[in-house]
């Protein structure tokens, strides 16, 4: 089923490249990570077939797709933000930007597209554990979408198409950087089930920690604010899903996102959240949300993630989420 989905996606991508290049010369910027757990599958099921289609190497194909320039960007062993910045400098107006991989590779593409300020057409093919960005892109084919931007103490932090989280859920993603876990993900089927088991084991050992200090939040310019204590997670949702099994919505088409503050450190609270989230995460809708950490926020490290890519912030007094001013065109 997963392989058939990729075949359908591949057919769509090649068709759209051909259609775009029939009108004018088209640059296709392909982003892949040769060190990822699914690098071999990416090469065999996406990168090589795309090259073969463009250069006319497919069986029974008399010629390739004319008017196409192929540019390949290899993800560097640094981090999301460094790669996004470097990729943004490569992009030009009217490029097709195609990422091949999981959400980590896809979020590099999303951030690069927004950072560049160029009018690119973005798409991604799914080769990860959760593939939230690919799921949203597939639903949004041919549409213009609005992402999320996070600012820390007034300075740009990162863009996201689907979601941000702050706190326990963000910190739990660190477990996927362990060599043991990555090696097992590389070798086995059933990666989603294995990933959920890894996260559950992490939860059992870490759920008693304090993840988010007391804060006050303002929405849509209302500076009266609401004080929050005992919260483990802040969720900002903009896409179709979070961690594959939690349902979102098409907030990316409009001017508002969904916000949810939750205390999930109790096993039953987490279980209920997951069950309810399967049918759709509930929360408040907003154009702008600002969190102000009035006490420990300036000293307590806080974890924040965008679509599975996390960062530990050592000192933070304010955190702001808003919709992007510029839209992103989906291929």
Q: What is the pLDDT of residues 186-238, one digit of tens each?
A: 555 666 666 667 777 777 777 777 888 899 999 987 766 778 888 999 999 99
Asked if 156 and 245 sit in the same domain, the reply is yes
Asked if 63 and 170 sit in the same domain, the reply is no
State the chain's mean pLDDT as an integer: 89
Asked if 169 and 121 sit in the same domain, the reply is no
pLDDT single digits (tens) 108-139? 999 999 999 999 999 999 998 889 999 999 99
Asked if 166 and 85 sit in the same domain, the reply is no
How many residues belong to the chain?
331
Asked if 165 and 73 sit in the same domain, the reply is no
3-class SS at 43? Answer: helix
Domain CATH for 30: 3.40.50.2300
Interacting residues of 40 by C-beta distance below 8 A, sequence separation 6+: none
pLDDT single digits (tens) 251-294? 999 999 999 999 988 888 888 988 999 999 999 999 999 999 97
pLDDT single digits (tens) 71-122? 999 999 999 999 999 999 999 999 999 999 999 999 999 999 999 999 999 9
Residue where a domain stops, chosen among 128, 160, 189: 128
Domain CATH for 259: 2.60.200.40
**Which neighbouring-strand residues pair with 306?**
164, 309
Residue where a domain stops, chosen among 72, 93, 128: 128
Asked if 155 and 89 sit in the same domain, the reply is no
Q: Which domain holds residue 299?
A: 151-175+207-324
List, as own/partner pairs, every contact residues 48-57 make where C-beta atoms lie below 8 angstroms and the sequence separation is at least 24, other chains included. Answer: 49/10, 49/14, 50/10, 50/13, 50/14, 50/17, 50/98, 53/14, 53/17, 54/17, 54/28
The model carries a pTM of 0.91
Neighbours of 277 (CB within 10 A): 20
Asked if 79 and 165 sit in the same domain, the reply is no
Q: Which of 272, 291, 277, 15 is nearest to 154 (CA)?
A: 291
Q: How many domains does the chain have?
A: 2
């Amino acid at each position: 089923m997963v392989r058939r989905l990729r075949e359908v996606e591949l057919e769509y991508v090649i068709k759209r490249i051909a259609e775009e290049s029939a009108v004018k010369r088209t640059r296709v910027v392909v982003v892949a990570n040769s060190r990822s757990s699914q690098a071999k599958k990416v090469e065999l099921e996406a990168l090589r077939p795309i090259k073969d289609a463009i250069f006319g190497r497919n069986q029974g194909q008399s010629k390739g797709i004319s008017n196409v320039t192929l540019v390949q960007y290899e993800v560097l062993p640094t981090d999301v933000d460094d790669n996004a910045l470097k990729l943004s400098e490569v992009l030009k107006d009217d490029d097709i930007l195609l990422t091949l991989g999981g959400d980590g590779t896809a979020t590099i593409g999303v951030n690069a597209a927004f950072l560049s300020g160029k009018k690119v057409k973005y798409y991604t093919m799914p080769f990860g554990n959760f593939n939230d960005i690919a799921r949203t892109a597939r639903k949004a084919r041919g549409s213009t979408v609005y992402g999320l931007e996070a600012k820390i103490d007034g300075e740009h932090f990162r863009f996201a198409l689907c979601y941000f989280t702050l706190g326990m859920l963000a910190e739990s993603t660190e477990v996927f950087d362990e060599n043991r876990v990555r090696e097992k993900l590389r070798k086995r089927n059933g990666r989603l089930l294995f990933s959920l088991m890894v996260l559950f084991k992490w939860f059992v050992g870490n759920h008693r920690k304090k993840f988010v200090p007391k804060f006050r939040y303002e929405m849509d310019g209302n500076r009266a604010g609401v004080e929050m204590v005992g919260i483990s997670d802040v969720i900002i949702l903009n896409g179709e899903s979070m961690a594959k099994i939690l349902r979102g919505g098409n907030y990316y088409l409009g001017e508002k996102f969904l916000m949810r503050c939750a205390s999930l450190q109790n096993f039953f609270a987490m279980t209920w959240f997951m069950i309810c989230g399967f049918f759709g995460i509930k929360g408040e809708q907003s154009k702008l949300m600002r969190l102000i950490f009035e006490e420990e926020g300036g000293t307590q490290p806080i974890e924040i993630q965008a679509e599975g890519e996390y960062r530990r912030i050592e000192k933070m007094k304010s955190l702001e989420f808003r919709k992007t001013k510029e839209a992103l065109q989906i291929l």
